[in-house]
Amino acid sequence: MAAVKETLKPQKPSREKGKAERQRIAAAAEPSVAANSIGRGRSDHDTNYHGRIIAHLSRHKRFPSEALARGETGIASVTFGLNVNGVVTSVRLARSSGSAALDRQVQTMVQRTSPFPPPPSRQAMLFTVPVNFNLR
């Protein structure tokens, strides 16, 4: 019995399918409106909420003078909860930096930063964020 070899010819995409594909590629290549001035990629409210929280915290970060005087550095991780309005509902130290002054500061920073931007999901959220205190 002879083997039958089947050859497939590439099919040309239909005009409608090709047009839709070109439009999809063009839309993906354009930055979102919010990403036009800063950063890379999408930065709209829903997809970059975590980044917005980090930026909001960064604006309120202060290096404690007592830690600065002693030359203390470290990374402290803080866990905090936000309600549907972005108000802090809980704060706890998730991981110590090794410096009591830095650990206190990271918790105080979260309280001072409240309220945060409201979550886009309109649901309470929990975050754990590392905060780096270094001397430059």
Is residue 96 situated within a structural domain? yes
In a domain, 62, yes or no: yes
Question: Does the pLDDT of residue 73 top 60, yes or no?
Answer: yes
Q: Identify whether 58 is part of a domain.
A: yes
- Please, what is the end-to-end C-alpha distance for the chain in angstroms? 79
Task: Classify residue 66: in a domain, yes or no.
Answer: yes
Q: Report how many domains make up the chain.
A: 1
- Asked whether the predicted pLDDT for residue 129 surpasses 70, the reply is yes
In a domain, 93, yes or no: yes
Question: Any idea what the CATH number is for the domain that residue 80 is in?
Answer: 3.30.1150.10
Q: For 102-124, how does the pLDDT look when each residue is reduced to its tens digit (9 = 90+)? A: 999 999 999 999 999 999 988 99
pTM for the model stands at: 0.64
Of 72, 60, 129, nearest to 102 (Cα)?
72
The type of residue at 26 is: A
**Domain of residue 71, residue span:** 49-133
Phi, psi of 11 (to 5 degrees): -95, 140
